[in-house]
Amino acid sequence: MADVIIHSPMTGRVIEVLVSKGDSVSAGDLVVVIESMKMENEVVCDHDGAVSAVHVEEDQSVSEGDRLVEVCAG
């Protein structure tokens, strides 16, 4: 099993974190919502697995490429 890191696709502000460490996720599940230029952008998981780490919290500023969530994909 390998950890897959989900990175921020853009600079913005985290407005919602929808997963916690230990949660099961499937490909296509929404994990984080980022607001950028007054638009909400949904970040989804590309793999099935379990959340091994959450690196952001709501109202946190992020830059493009920042780590958001790690998923232990099996």
> Which residue range is the domain that position 41 belongs to?
2-73
pLDDT, residue 19, reads 98
**pLDDT tens track for 8-20:** 999 999 999 999 9
Plot region of 61 (φ>0 → left; ψ -120 to 50 → alpha; else → beta): beta
**pLDDT tens track for 27-46:** 999 999 999 999 999 999 99
Mean pLDDT score of the chain = 95
51 or 74: whose pLDDT is higher?
51
How far apart are alpha carbons 61 and 70 in whole angstroms? Answer: 18
Total domains, the chain: 1
Plot region of 58 (φ>0 → left; ψ -120 to 50 → alpha; else → beta): beta
E strand residue ranges, the chain:
2-7, 12-17, 24-25, 30-36, 39-44, 49-54, 61-62, 67-73
Whether pTM > 0.85 for this model: the answer is yes
Can you give the CATH number for the domain in which 25 is found? 2.40.50.100
pLDDT exceeds cutoff 90 at 2: no
